[in-house]
Structure formats: C-alpha cells, structure tokens
Chain A
Amino acid sequence: MAKPTERIYRHRLGTRIWHWVNAVAIVVLLMSGAMIFNAHPRLYWGQYGANFDRAWLEIGADARGGYLHLGDRRFDTDGVLGRWRASDGSVRTNAFPGWATIPSGYNLALARRWHFTFALVLAFGLLLFQVASLFNRHIQKDFALRRGEIAPASLWRDAVAHLRLRFHDPDNPGAFNTLQKLSYITVVFILIPLMIFTGLTLSPGMDAAWPWMLDLFGGRQSARSIHFIAAALILLFILVHLVLVLLDRPLDGLRGMITGWSRR
C-alpha cells in the first residue's frame, strides 16, 4: 500500500471530466466524419470542387482494387480503403471501411446527426475547459513553457529522455515535460479550434454569417481539406498519446485520470 506522501494529485475534477467527455466526442467525430467523407471521397483546394474538378486526394476503387490517389501518385489500399469486405462478408467500395465509421453501414444522414451532436460537445467542452483552465491557472502553471524550455538543447534532452522512457522530472514529477506541453498546446489551442472553425466553414449558413472564415481558409473546399488534415493529425496525437500512456505505467496513468491521484 502506497503511503500518502508518495501519491500525487495530478488532475483536477474539471480536467478529468473534460478529458473523458472530449475523448468520447473526438472518437465519435472521427468515425462519423469518416462516414461523411465516404459520401464524396475527394478533397480539393479553393472555393469550389466537384467531380469534374481536380482533387488532390481521392479514395476509390477501380478494376485493380481499392486505391488512394495523392496528387498523381497511386497507393494500392485494397482491403482497407476504397474496397473492403464488410462483417457480413460482402465486398463494399466505400472509402473508409465499416469498422472505422459511425454508423458502420453507409448512411450519410445519420452520420451527420452524430457529427453535429458531438460537434457541440467538442466545441462547448473545449470552450469551458479553456476558460476554466485560465481561471484556475492550469494553463499558466502547467501548460506555459518556461524560459529556455524550447531551446534546441533542451528539446534534444527531452527527446532523448523520451527514448529512454523517462517522462517525468524526478524533482517535479507532477509537471508536464516539454514535448508533452508542446503537444497539448498544439491540440488544445491549435488543432481542435482549427477543427471547429474549418467545420463551421462547411456550413453554408455560417459562411453567410461569418464570411471571413472563407477568406481565412481560402474557400469552403480548402476548409474541407484542412478539416480532414487536422483530423488526421488529431488521430496521430491520439495514437502517440496512447502509446506513451502504455509505456509509462498505464494503470497508474489511468487511475490518475479517473481519481485524480497517482503514484509519484
């Protein structure tokens, strides 16, 4: 049994609630977003873009099987993207496979219902978390980079420490390390807001109300492309985040994010 002195209060209640609510929202948004992408699995740059215009990314299927086109390059993705076998054994030719989408069978209308419900959870959850974290000084105390922290030598030291699976400063085990701070800042203050605003730019009603979004992102189809790229980066963050949790005493980390308390 750990002594009380060896335990550390890592996460406040608000942070823990936001973390889990946001985790559910982001998974639902990624999967319902994949279904929405399936309705028109082509991405463009600019104000307009449809079947006769040049797509910079396309997922599809032809006689050779499923493919992903990136510019002029073709990647064979048969079995995973473009053409895949559904759980009932039938062969489908949608972009993302059923195990990656909500709902699992093609249904744009229902995917949109899921997406717009959890978009509200994501957006207002983030707003609450940001405001609360400013007032309880979570941002200033834990996110803010200290002087010299992003100097190349310091970043190098932190990267090497990560490779040695040393994630905590022994003198201050409750603090985030530099790469952790940078990735959280990127997600909380850049990627998720980017998702929200590029998502709003896809709404013709919001484009009329806030036309500066069209200028900011270079058009609705550019916003759609950026929405997709930012989603891919968030997925990458989640994967790295999960790997690091698994490498750094996963049960202890899980306990910390549920009860707030973890071992030193």
Chain B
Amino acid sequence: MIVTRRKLIGGLAAGGLLGGCDRLGESPPFRKILFSAEQAHRFLQRALTDRMALAREYRSDQMSPVFRTNGTNNPGTPDYQAHVDTGFTNWRLQVDGLVARPLALPLAELRSMPTRVQITRHDCVEGWSAIGKWHGVPLKLLLDLAGLRPSARYIVFHCADRIGGAPYYESLDLVDAFHPQTILAWGMNDRLLSVGHGAPVRLRVERQLGYKHAKYVMRLEAVDDLRRAGRGKGGFWEDVADYEWYAGI
C-alpha cells in the first residue's frame, strides 16, 4: 500500500509535474497569465523609473574585440543586391503612414543630418552581450521632419530581409521612438555599416534587446495600432515565436 502510494507520488513528481508544466504552457488561460507578465514588467519599469533614462555608454577601450552578427547576415534579394552594388546611391528611406509630410531620404542626406555617436552594449535575448560604437541620426529628428499626426502611436520598421519567407519588421512606441539614444545607425565602429550588421541603416534602441534593433531598415511607418502590421504582434519574432513586444526586460 505504502509502496503503491510512493510510486504514485513519484510518478506524479517526475512525469506529472514536468508534463504538467508543458501542458500548462500550452493552455490558453494559463498562457494569458504568463503573457501578462510582460505588461506588468513594462508598467513597473515605466512607472517606477525615469522614462528618459539613458543606457550606459562605454569608453572605446571597453568595446568588444569582435562584434558578432546575428539574425540575417545578408538579405540576399536581387533588389537588395542591386543597392549593395550601387553603394545604396539609389536607395531611399521611406517615412510614411500617419505623418504630415511623407519623406524619401537618400542615404547621403541621412549622413549629413546631425549625427549621434554612442558606444553601447547590445544585449541578445539569448544572453550574450557585445559593445560597439554606433553612428546615426536620432529617430526623433526624422519623425519631427515628417511631422507625426496626433493619432500616431507606434513606429513600424519595415526591413529588406525575410526569414522563412516572412519579412522582418519591428515596432516601437513613442516613448522609445523619441528617446535620445534611439538612432537609425548608418555607421558602426568608425566605418560605414556593413551588410552583416544591417546596411544601409539599422535601428538602435538601446534600452531593449537585440531583436528590436531592426537591420536593413527600408521604411518607417507611423501607425495608430500594431494589429495591421505583419501578423499583428508588432514584430517578426513576436509573431512567429511569441517573444515579448516590450523587450526592455
């Protein structure tokens, strides 16, 4: 009798507990609880700390000797390759959506705008970090140039790379879009941005994880709702794998 009970308890502890967690992780009501933690963390961070706090900036002797690439290393499409071959001279950054003045800015114009240089730490959701130097135009300047309409609540970043056929994209709310360290970087470590790191421009949003730092940015779109972009969760990894949209955690 005792042995049977022990076996039962042992079985529950080993198979039941583990299998139970896997089943819980798939049950819609429980997932709702698990997924609400993202809002709780975002609310707590935004409520308890300075929304405009700057990410740590490092000295040049603190930079990673090798800054690894991640995600797509080359979009590889004919259109993108044509831009690479012509040094992005025919490329234009589109700024549209809920803006007063849609823009199409050549790379040379972006480079001639006021530049912010920042040595910051890139934190991948996987756990690694690399410190690099980024040169770019503050996103705020572009948004002010285009003139956001009052209904705009998010900025969507449309990219040239596709993963498994789906276009990469990301999005930010206006708190992070207007943050002074949020830049569209055209340079890295005192050189023009390489294809591996997202040429011609990539997003730097220094208080969030790496997958928010969209590479190969082609178009900025101001929207009032994220549900119409991609599959509706505000970003490629959010859509395909349920990563957090707020990646400041």
List residues of A whose CB falls within 8 A of some B CB. 28, 31, 36-37, 39-40, 42, 47-53, 98-99, 102-105, 108-110, 112-114, 116-117, 119-120, 202-211, 214, 220-221, 224
Check B56–A207 contact: CB distance below 8 A.
yes
Q: Say yes or no: A52-B65 contact (C-beta < 8 A), given A99-B18, A102-B25.
A: yes
Instruction: Give a binary string over B189-204; 1 marks a CB under 8 Å from any A CB, 0 the rest.
Output: 0000000000000000
Apart from A113-B35, A114-B21, A119-B37, 18 more pairs, CB < 8 Å: A37-B127, A40-B126, A42-B128, A47-B62, A49-B129, A50-B128, A50-B130, A51-B128, A52-B65, A99-B14, A103-B25, A109-B244, A110-B242, A117-B34, A203-B248, A204-B206, A208-B54, A209-B48
* Pairs A–B under 8 Å by Cβ, sample size 23: A31-B21, A42-B128, A49-B128, A99-B18, A102-B21, A103-B21, A103-B25, A108-B126, A109-B244, A110-B34, A112-B125, A112-B249, A113-B31, A113-B244, A114-B25, A119-B37, A120-B37, A203-B248, A204-B247, A204-B248, A205-B207, A209-B45, A209-B53
Does B130 contact A117, Cβ atoms closer than 8 Å?
Answer: no
Residues of B within 8 A of A204 (CB): 55, 121, 123, 206-209, 247-248
* Contact residues in A for B149 (Cβ distance below 8 Å): none
B interface residue numbers (CB < 8 A to A): 14, 18-19, 21-22, 25, 31, 33-38, 40-41, 45, 48-50, 53-56, 58, 62-68, 121, 123-131, 206-209, 237, 241-244, 247-249
Q: Are A112's CB and B207's CB within 8 A?
A: no
- Top 4 closest pairs, chain A to chain B, by CB: A205-B248, A209-B49, A40-B127, A50-B128
Is A208 a contact partner of B37 (Cβ separation < 8 A)?
no
How many A-B residue pairs have C-beta atoms within 8 angstroms? Tell me. Answer: 145
Q: A47-B62, A113-B37, A220-B121 are in contact. Are A208 and B128 (CB under 8 A)?
A: no
Q: Cβ of A51: which chain B residues have Cβ within 8 Å of it?
A: 68, 128
- A120 contacts which chain B residues (CB < 8 A)? 37, 40-41
Contact A117 to B33, CB < 8 A, known contacts A203-B249, A204-B208: yes
Residues in chain A near residue B130, CB distance under 8 A: 48, 50
Question: What residues of B have a CB within 8 angstroms of the CB of A114 in the complex?
Answer: 21, 25, 34
Least CB distance from A111 to B in Å reads: 9
Contacts of A98 in B (CB 8 A): 18
Determine the distance from Cα of A221 to Cα of B248 in the docked complex, in whole angstroms: 16
Interface centre among A105, A109, A210 (most CB of B within 10 A): A109
Chain A residues within 8 Å of B38, by CB = 113, 116
Answer whether A39 and B34 are a contact pair too, CB < 8 Å, given A50-B64, A102-B25, A209-B53: no
- Provided the pairs A36-B127, A52-B68, A114-B25 are in contact, do residues A206 and B45 lie with their beta carbons within 8 angstroms? yes
Whether B56 pairs with A214 at a CB distance below 8 angstroms is yes
Which single residue of chain A is at the shortest CB-CB distance from B238? A109
- B105 CB to nearest chain A CB (Å): 28
Give the distance to chain B from A146, nearest Cβ to Cβ, in Å. Answer: 38
Residue numbers in B under 8 Å from A48 (CB-CB): 62-64, 121, 129-131
Across the interface, do A52 and B66 meet the contact criterion of CB distance under 8 Å? yes
Which of chain B's residues have a CB closer than 8 A to the CB of A202?
123, 127
CB neighbours (8 Å) of B35 from chain A are 113
Q: Check A112 against B129 for contact (C-beta < 8 Å).
A: no
Q: Which residues of B contact A112 (CB under 8 A)?
A: 125, 243-244, 249
The chain A residue with its CB closest to the CB of B66 is: A52
Distance, CA A181 to CA B121, complexed state (A): 41
Q: Is the CB of A40 within 8 A of B249?
A: no
CB distance from B2 to the nearest CB of A (A): 12
Residues from chain B with Cβ under 8 Å of A119 in the complex: 37
Report how far A55 CA is from B34 CA in the complex, Å.
Answer: 32
B241 cross-chain contacts in A, Cβ below 8 A: 108-109
**Measured CA separation A47–B237 after assembly (Å):** 26
Residues in A with CB closer than 8 Å to B55 are: 204, 207-208
Give complex CA distance A117, B24 in Å. Answer: 13
A116 adjacent to B37 (CB under 8 Å): yes
CA A210 – CA B54 in complex, angstroms? Answer: 10
B58 touches A47 (CB 8 A): yes
Contacts of A211 in B (CB 8 A): 56
Q: In the bound complex, how far is the Cα of B38 from the Cα of A53, in angstroms?
A: 31
CB distance from A192 to the nearest CB of B (A): 18
A36 to B128, CA, bound (A): 11
- Alpha-carbon separation in the docked complex, A66 to B242 (Å): 30
User: A50 and B129: CB pair below 8 A?
Assistant: yes
B182 CB, nearest partner CB in chain A, Å:
12
